[in-house]
Amino acid sequence: MNTSSPSLGPGAAGGGEEGAENTYDILPRHKFKQRVAKAIIAEVLDEMLKGEAYHPEQSSRLAREVSDEIKHRLKGLDLPRYKFAVQVVIGQQHGQGVRMAGRCLWDADTDNSAQEVYVNESLFCVAAAFAVYLY
């Protein structure tokens, strides 16, 4: 009884073409650029919040819409294997101070974040976007 298996040639095990090279990219070809993301966030905030007045019952919907639009435009940068998380806070403008803090465990070589603040006479908005590269 023979228990050895026949030797398989290149490409036979995976069913792919012979001689095809593996393309395991460890690092991104194009990194997330904070400067570009900040410009996108500022543009979205200006477009969506210009002339808006603060309404407590509508602020959560508006924050969700702003967050979705920022995420949509960041995905348009076509950065493969990057995942985006966007956080938006909208509050009533009374001249008060607001502090936001976040902590992440990430790779400083590939991951990054960008944030922008928008203020008008009625409301303030703080938007932060986080880009994480999936290995």
User: Residue 56 maps to which CATH number?
Assistant: 3.30.1140.40
> Would 26 be classed as within a structural domain?
no
> Cα 66 from chain centroid?
14
* 88, 121 contact by CB (below 8 A): no
> Would 86 be classed as within a structural domain?
yes
> Would 91 be classed as within a structural domain?
yes
Q: What is the pLDDT of residue 23?
A: 66
Work out the angle between the directed axes of helices 56-75 and 34-49 (0-180°, nearest 10).
140
Residue 83 β-bridge partners: 132
What is the count of structural domains for the chain? Answer: 1
> Would 2 be classed as within a structural domain?
no
* 63, 120 contact by CB (below 8 A): no
> Cα 1 from chain centroid?
58
> Would 51 be classed as within a structural domain?
yes
* 17, 11 contact by CB (below 8 A): yes
For every one of its 135 residues, what pLDDT tens digit does the chain have, with 9 covering 90 and above? 555 545 554 554 555 556 667 667 788 999 999 999 999 999 999 999 999 999 999 999 999 999 999 999 999 999 999 999 999 999 999 988 888 888 888 999 999 999 999 999 999 999 999 999 998
